């Protein structure tokens, strides 16, 4: 039952995150983030990280917290979410680089770094490659969503 429990936890967290990123608002946010980004992996990674954080907070508030290891474990939540994000980036947004395994690895590393920063230092550390205060990790400020892509399944949690 312990193994099934982990699989269920991964399904819940990854499903909620993917649902948010695949929603109209999520796709719009991803498109905006990609536009003009000098470091697409970092930019997309930031968006994915925000979505994951939101899901994690929501699950904890509902009393359904998930083991920390499952978020970044092999085959865990992050892997499942990146699987969905990569397919959407290529098929919907036309970002062919997302089909490259190296890009996906960079994307994963970007998200993991952000998670470690959040766990270790609290506020996100500034990117060393910043071109200026206006840009954060290469993401354009104009049109940049101020918050993470909203969860399309906002009614899911309430419906439980």
Residue 44, CA distances (Å) to 62, 92, 95, 130 in order: 27, 15, 11, 16
Among 15, 36, 145, 150, binds other proteins (CB under 8 A): 15
* Helical segments of 23-76, H only: 24-34, 40-61, 68-72
Q: Specify the stretch interacting with other proteins by CB under 8 A; choose among 33-41, 76-84, 110-118, 136-144.
A: 76-84
Q: Which residues pair with 136 in a beta bridge?
A: 139
Nearest residue to 87 (alpha-carbon basis) of 109, 114, 107, 112: 107
**Candidate list 99, 125, 141, 154; residue touching other proteins; CB under 8 A:** 99
Question: Would you tell me which residues interact with other proteins (CB under 8 A)?
Answer: 1-12, 15-16, 18-19, 22-23, 63-64, 67, 69-70, 73-76, 79-80, 83-84, 86-88, 90-92, 96, 99-101, 104, 152-153, 156-157, 159-160
């Amino acid at each position: 039952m312990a193994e099934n429990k982990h699989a269920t936890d991964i399904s819940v967290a990854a499903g909620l995150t993917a649902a948010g990123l695949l929603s109209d608002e999520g796709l719009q946010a991803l498109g905006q983030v990609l536009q003009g980004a000098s470091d697409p992996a970092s930019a997309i990674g930031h968006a994915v990280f925000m979505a994951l954080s939101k899901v994690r907070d929501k699950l904890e508030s509902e009393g359904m917290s998930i083991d920390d290891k499952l978020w970044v474990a092999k085959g865990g939540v992050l892997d499942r979410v990146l699987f969905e994000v990569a397919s959407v980036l290529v098929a919907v947004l036309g970002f062919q680089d997302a089909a490259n395994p190296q890009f996906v690895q960079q994307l994963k590393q970007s998200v993991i770094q952000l998670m470690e920063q959040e766990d270790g230092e609290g506020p996100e550390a500034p990117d060393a490659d910043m071109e200026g205060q206006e840009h954060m990790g290469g993401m354009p400020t104009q049109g940049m969503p101020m918050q993470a892509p909203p969860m399309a399944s906002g009614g899911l949690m309430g419906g439980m």
